[in-house]
Amino acid sequence: MSAIPALAVDNLSVEFRTRSGIVKVLEHVSFSVGKGETIALVGESGSGKSVTAFAVMGILDAAGKVTSGTAMFGGSDLLKQSERDLAELRGRELSMIFQNPRTALNPIRRVGQQIADVLVRHGGATRADAPKLAIEMLKKVRIPDPERRAEAYPFEMSGGMCQRIMIAIALACRPALLIADEPTTGLDVTTQAVIMDLIGELGRDSGMATIFITHDLALAAEYCDRIVVMHAGHIVESAPSQTLFADPRHPYTAKLLAATPGETASLAELVSIPGNLPDLRREDLPACRYSGRCERLVGRCAEPLPHQTIGDRHGIACWNPL
């Protein structure tokens, strides 16, 4: 990992306008990813992981608005780029794998052609070379018999195969920054390992930085350098993966770990996180958005959250950490 971050997000806040009011979906989100580094973004459903990705990519829904912050990438602020410049960057420098792979593929175009299209459009490949390079990519994502399967349409592929086609498309142009939104949910663990290794390889060889969004904490710990934990639009804890597992300090992180089936002997041992995410439309959202569910609540929790760091890389936003 190098000292210059590939992407530095600072103080990002995002709101959505809805019929029932303004939803403060992200508030003061700050994190960075170094060149060649992989960070994981984890947290419950609805915690703002995808919205963070969309904001950085400049593809927020029309109802969404960035209300503060910067996202520095290669010397310029992505949040201030024109739509045209961003469109130019996406596909070449910035690449995203979306949460819903089957719907993101063109249903009436052969999968090999879809990869070839990207290689020609963004990767500088010629029309003549592209099909061969596309087969090469299919091979890298472990599609058996890639020469023949390149001819298949998405409906002829399994769920996990479509997911791998999306990964092949996202990686085809060797982006500087990859945002992968739950890219391996439909993959068995051996294929998943191959994909994670492939992403790691691109990190080492071409310095690709990766933001890896996942619900699988063990996967994050094994393949990512750092884990950033989000809850209700706040980053509550961030630490090197091993540290986070061995020594979680935010009460929410500890609860997430307790809900993860690992070596557990029975289902009864797993504990879901009590309570729900707060309603983000509320005017009077508490300073700590976890306080309504927290067992370690103290009087100070109503004050603006502290951002303390232990050592130089373990950050916690909590008044009464473990």
Partner 1 sequence: MTGLLEISQLAKRFEVGGKRLLYAVDEVTFTIGKGETVGLVGESGCGKSTLVRLINRLLDPTSGSIRLGDTDLAAIRASGFAGNTNRRRVQMVFQDAGDSLNPRFTAFHAIADPLRRLKSLSGVALTARVEALADMTGLPRTLLTRFPHQLSGGQKARVGIARAIAVEPELLILDEPTAALDVSVQVVILQLLQTLKRELGMSYLFVSHDLNVVRLLCDRVLVMYLGKIVEAGPASEVFADAKHPYTRALISAIPQADPDKRVGRLRLGGEPRSPIDPDPKVCRFYGRCPTGEPRCAEQMPALRDVGPDRQVACHFA
Ligand X SMILES: Nc1ncnc2c1ncn2[C@@H]1O[C@H](COP(=O)(O)OP(=O)(O)OP(=O)(O)O)[C@@H](O)[C@H]1O
- Contact residues toward ligand X (CB under 6 A) are 16, 18, 23, 25, 43, 45-51, 61, 63-64, 99, 155-161, 186, 280
Site residues for Mg ion, window 153-192 (CB under 5 A)? 158-159
The answer to whether residues 12 and 41 touch, using CB atoms and an 8 Å cutoff, is no
DSSP conformation class of 90: B
Query: Binding partner of residue 76 among ligand X, partner 1, Mg ion, none, CB under 5 to 8 Å per kind?
Result: none
Asked if 161 touches partner 1 (CB under 8 A), the answer is yes
Which two three-digit tokens encode residue 290? 């976890």
Q: Which is nearer to Mg ion, 21 or 159 (CB)?
A: 159
> CB of residue 190 vs Mg ion: minimum separation in angstroms?
15
Q: Which is nearer to partner 1, 77 or 156 (CB)?
A: 156
Q: Where are the beta strands (DSSP E) in the chain?
A: 5-18, 21-34, 38-42, 64-73, 76-77, 94-97, 177-181, 209-213, 226-231, 234-240, 308-310, 314-316
Residues in the chain: 322
Q: Which is nearer to partner 1, 218 or 301 (CB)?
A: 218
Residue 245's alpha-carbon distances to 214, 231, 270, 290, in angstroms, are 15, 17, 16, 20
Query: Binding partner of residue 245 among ligand X, partner 1, Mg ion, none, CB under 5 to 8 Å per kind?
Result: partner 1
The answer to whether residues 167 and 197 touch, using CB atoms and an 8 Å cutoff, is no
Site residues for partner 1, window 254-313 (CB under 8 A)? 255-256, 259-262, 264, 266-268, 270-273
> CB of residue 33 vs ligand X: minimum separation in angstroms?
18
Phi-psi region of 182 (alpha: psi -120 to 50; beta: other; left: phi over 0): left
Contacts with partner 1 by CB under 8 A: the residue count is 56
Measure the CA–CA gap between 77 and 85, rounded to whole angstroms.
Answer: 11
> CB of residue 274 vs partner 1: minimum separation in angstroms?
9
Query: Binding partner of residue 112 among ligand X, Mg ion, partner 1, none, CB under 5 to 8 Å per kind?
Result: none
Q: Three-class SS of residue 30?
A: strand
Draw the binding track, 113-142, toward partner 1 (x: CB under 8 A; -: no contact): --------------------------x--x
Which two three-digit tokens encode residue 62? 């029309």
> CB of residue 275 vs ligand X: minimum separation in angstroms?
15
Among 21, 74, 124, 159, binds partner 1 (CB under 8 A): 159
Q: Which is nearer to ligand X, 155 or 201 (CB)?
A: 155
Tokens 């009077």, residue located: 284
